[in-house]
Amino acid sequence: MKSLSPTLWILFLSALLLWGCAKKTVTRVNTDTDIDLSGRWNDADSRRVAEAMTESLLNSHWREDFVQRNNRKPVVIVGLITNKSHEHIEPEIFIKDIEKELVRSTLVRIVQNSEFREKLRDERADQQEFAAPETQKRWGAELGADFMMFGTINAIVDSEGKRQVTFYQVDLELSDLESNELVWVDGKKIKKYIVG
């Protein structure tokens, strides 16, 4: 069995030394800072689309019409927003961004989606058995939603060589829960050109 020549040993040890000295740096940045490393859907896209769509929703005629007819703020539930794109996009983050914007606006009231309502109902049931009577929350006092939001996230990719264009389209709609009337529809588009 042959041993490595001294030159190869020096090269091998130098490579190990350089590899061991390579350091990763991590810098904390403001969460509102836009950083797009891959060109895929990211937190900045989610935040910007949620802000734009919420502004459109709240400035549409449906809300004012409802307030005039009912003399109260409308109650909205953000329902299913489906990712139909080629990427793994977690719709829950986008849904939470929309809910935050709606709650901050104070122009509508928001109720929990079905998954969280079940957890609240479980807690209310536990209170009936374990909480002091004066602190138990009543059954049948939930706030019913007037409107429900649905939507989709879609993407189209066009690429050639080291160039790629990714086009995202988010479409949202709001329906009256009693009449099924579609009272608001809007969309937001994002196009990203990626080289490399």
* DSSP string computed for 28-85: ---TTS---SSSS--HHHHHHHHHHHHHHHHTSHHHHHHHHHHSS--EEEEEEEEE-S
Length of the chain: 196
> What is the distance between the alpha carbons of residues 72 and 3, in angstroms, rounded to a whole number?
86
pTM: 0.79
CATH (one of 3.40.50, 1.20.59, 2.60.40, 1.10.260) for 39-195: 3.40.50
22 pLDDT band, cuts 50/70/90, is low
- The answer, yes or no, to whether residue 1 has pLDDT greater than 60, is no
> What is the distance between the alpha carbons of residues 171 and 91, in angstroms, rounded to a whole number?
13
- The answer, yes or no, to whether residue 41 has pLDDT greater than 60, is yes
Tell me the torsion sign for CA atoms 27, 32, 37, 42.
Answer: positive
> What is the distance between the alpha carbons of residues 155 and 1, in angstroms, rounded to a whole number?
58
Q: For residue range 63-87, list pLDDT tens digits in order.
A: 999 999 999 999 999 999 999 999 8
* Under 8 Å between Cβ of 185 and 170: no
3 pLDDT band, cuts 50/70/90, is low
Q: How far is CA 183 from CA 2, 23, 29, 119, 174, in A?
A: 80, 55, 39, 30, 6
Q: How far is CA 164 from CA 28, 42, 81, 154, in A?
A: 29, 17, 26, 16
Give residue for tokens 């977690």: 90
Q: Residue ranges of the domains in the chain?
A: 39-195
Higher pLDDT, 80 or 12: 80
Arithmetic mean of pLDDT over the chain: 89
Tell me the torsion sign for CA atoms 48, 52, 53, 57.
Answer: positive
- pLDDT, mean of residues 120-124: 87
